[in-house]
Amino acid sequence: MLPKSVKVEAYQPLNKKLVPTKPRKAKELAWKLGTKYTYRYTLNGKDIGSETFTVKKTQQGKSTIYQWKSSLTLKAGATSVKSETSFALADNGRPISFEREYTGSQRAKLKADFANDQVKVSKKVFFTSKRTIKLPKNAMFFDNNLLTSFAGICSHLDFKAGETTRIQAFHPNSFRILTLTFEVAKKMEKVNGEDCYKCKVVELRNTFWVSQDGRFVKGTAATLVMQLTK
């Protein structure tokens, strides 16, 4: 699948214990609600597609829920990836639900519901696979070729220059719980005219740039660049 930047290079064994960085408390997102944002993908300097997303806020009783929607179109050579995705996060970044449908070269459907420290997940390609998996405390989530999921993650982490942030996240495509380690550089770098934290995402072999208010604005993996348009 494209892009290579989100290929899972390492799995976190389910029986290995670790203490992830404590996520920040619930707060308003820096993203403008209802605004359409776009990430452009370039490979070796050539445009290969984009991902657009929006986020909206809803209330369920006393709970604040953020509803994210993403549309992805990528094409490189004979390979194409298209998907429509929706997911919901609590105001502390914890996942509530996730649905995704792939078209293009690959066709698949994914669905996950998170509750009571577990996730019920199903994946349909040629046949349907289902699992119920226990989640560690404070688990987040991300998926292949879904920058919007990282926009959600980065919105709920507190980065500090020169320090390391570590999380555990459920990965729907593989039915696994993975560790993601963000090693933050000591110096800030400008992207789109604003100072950003430069983070090496160790397990994915990516580099992310995240604004001081928590917006994921750029990612790279070798010659692949994914950048938020102004």
- pLDDT tens by residue, 182-207: 999 999 999 999 999 999 999 999 99
Return the domain boundaries, the chain: 4-228
Q: How far apart are CA 68 and CA 138, in angstroms?
A: 19
* Average pLDDT of every residue of the chain: 89
The pLDDT of residue 78 is 75
Is-cis flag, bond preceding 136, omega within 30? no
Can you list the residues of the chain whose pLDDT is less than 70? Answer: 1-27, 230
| Confidence (pLDDT) at 128 | 94
In Å, how far from its chain's centre is CA 85?
A: 12
103/72 Cα distance (integer angstroms): 10
Express each pLDDT in 133-170 by its tens digit.
999 989 999 999 999 999 999 999 999 999 999 999 99
- Which pLDDT score is estimated for 24? 54
